[in-house]
């Protein structure tokens, strides 16, 4: 795998103390992902898979909607920020969430993510891990080995 990690322009601005309405706007954030996808294609990548967690997962999900058909092959969503039209997502999708991951308001994220999964078109798969770790913090949990195996299996399938 060739990997390109990105940092959203809105996140950079926020860390610098600048207000940006883009920070929690999946469509706005998706522009950065699509720029990275298109860069990788120009550099010769034959298949593009994107992995995003939490806010980045919502941006990744939205990017699949805004991408041209075939531009993004696979998407891994780690407890993603919910998006407006999951039924319009393209490509193969892997939804991953911890069973007891709670939102800031104390509600289980699983409910909203399961609803998004149900609306998303095939092909898709959902993995529910044990515990309460959120998004990228799953890699630091006792579920990390299973998480890695699930992601690698999904990204390696023909």
Burial call 85-102: b when 16+ CB within 10 Å, e when fewer:
ebeebbbbbbbbbbeebe
**Please, which pLDDT band fits residue 14 given cuts at 50, 70 and 90?**
confident
pLDDT one-digit tens code per residue, 24-33: 899 999 999 9
The pTM (predicted TM-score) of the whole model is 0.93
pLDDT one-digit tens code per residue, 97-135: 999 999 999 999 999 999 999 999 999 999 999 999 999
**Please, which pLDDT band fits residue 43 given cuts at 50, 70 and 90?**
very high
- d(CA 126, CA 14) in angstroms, rounded, equals 32
- Measured over all CA atoms, what is the biggest interatomic distance in the chain, rounded to whole angstroms? 44
């Amino acid at each position: 795998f060739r990997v390109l990690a990105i940092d959203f322009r809105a996140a950079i601005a926020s860390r610098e103390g600048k207000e940006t309405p883009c920070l929690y706007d999946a469509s706005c954030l998706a522009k950065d992902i699509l720029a990275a996808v298109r860069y990788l294609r120009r550099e010769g990548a034959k298949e593009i898979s994107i992995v995003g967690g939490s806010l980045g997962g919502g941006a990744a999900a939205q990017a699949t909607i805004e991408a041209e058909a075939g531009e993004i092959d696979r998407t891994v969503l780690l407890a993603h920020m919910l998006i407006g039209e999951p039924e319009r997502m393209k490509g193969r999708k892997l939804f991953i969430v911890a069973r007891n991951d709670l939102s800031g308001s104390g509600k289980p994220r699983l409910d909203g993510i399961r609803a998004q999964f149900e609306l998303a078109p095939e092909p898709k798969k959902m993995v529910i891990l044990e515990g309460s770790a959120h998004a990228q913090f799953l890699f630091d949990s006792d579920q990390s080995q299973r998480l890695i195996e699930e992601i690698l299996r999904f990204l390696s399938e023909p």
